[in-house]
Structure 1
């Protein structure tokens, strides 16, 4: 059974925040210091209301950026899972360039001020829909791995309130688990429309 702390972080808080505030979250994740601060804040937030015995240390929690099939991908390296549906990695996949959409408006902002959203209200829903990243997980799963040197996984995706499992993922616990997860994402994403990007190009 999945531990509630890492499950809440990977399956609830990350997709909610990244979907609700796509531009702001992307900007923070692009700055190493802010990214570390944001991840630790969310990790602590995921433990709220849980007894201390159920708190899990943030050991190994970090972020790296990659290019996968022409998209910018923020890869979340998560604390080692200990049960099925806990995740080894999360991946926020941004289809558009960072400046291709307007900033979303803070919930507590007024209509006046000097910021980009001043006087204009929130951006149109379709603009935010285009900006929201896709969010994938490489989850621990039950069963036997096809690779004896690793443990079995599954690739899943959260889109809004809906979750779908996309099939078996690469063996976990290996040095090549992260790049193999990115290769699996390239297969799912396909080439970026109109970009002429090679189907399987992955660059760190």
Structure 2
């Protein structure tokens, strides 16, 4: 098994998670000026790279972002450079579930079935304290990831008589 590339792994699983959780709900809305977050994400990627040995640095090719609103949930969807090994991520999302006051940070991670070697994905979540594994994820397509994020984070209905 090959270790994840430090630049890719640290960006998606540490630095981006930390930054987005720290900034909170405002990252899930487009800026009033309409400016893209992509330059800030590329700068974050490059700044992280500067802390790594030259042989561990990766270009930001493929890094992208967009804001979405789906069924009352606000999201910042980040497309990451193509993952090469487990558990590098295809996508990350900061989501503000409808009615919530805090965001959640989720990733769609590249995975390989340990029994037969087939590729797949895992839906992961980072909190300020730990990493959660939500099990098998969808195919690595942005719309499928967004659907999985909405299903996971949507408020659950509480019983027959209550809303």
1:34 CA drift (Å): 4.3
1:27 CA drift (Å): 6.0
Q: Give the corresponding residue for 2:103.
A: 133
Do the aligned partners of 1:69 and 1:191 also contact (CA within 8 Å) in 2? no
Residues 29, 45 of structure 1: CA spacing in aligned structure 2 closer, same or farther, 3 A cutoff?
farther
Q: Give the corresponding residue for 1:13.
A: 15
Do the aligned partners of 1:139 and 1:156 also contact (CA within 8 Å) in 2? yes
Do the aligned partners of 1:157 and 1:166 also contact (CA within 8 Å) in 2? yes
Per-residue CA deviation, residues 117-156 of structure 1 (Å, 9 max, x unaligned), is xxxxxxxxxxxxx643100000001128xxx8xx410000
- Whole-Å Cα distance in 1 between the matches of residues 8 and 71 of structure 2? 29
TM-score (norm 1): 0.66
* Pairing 1:143–2:113 present: yes
1:191 CA drift (Å): 4.4
- Whole-Å Cα distance in 2 between the matches of residues 190 and 96 of structure 1? 7
TM-score (norm 2): 0.81
Instruction: Select the structure of larger CA radius of gyration.
Output: 1
Q: Hey, which of these two has a bigger chunk of strand by percent?
A: 2
What is the alpha-carbon root mean square deviation over aligned residues?
2.5
Q: Give the corresponding residue for 2:67.
A: 65
Aligned residues: 152
* Pairing 1:166–2:130 present: no
2:124 maps to which of 156, 164, 178: 156
Structure 1 alignment gaps of length 5 or more: 98-129, 194-204
Give the SS at the match of 2:4. coil
Q: Give the corresponding residue for 1:39.
A: 41
1:33 CA drift (Å): 3.6
1:181 maps to which of 141, 145, 158: 145
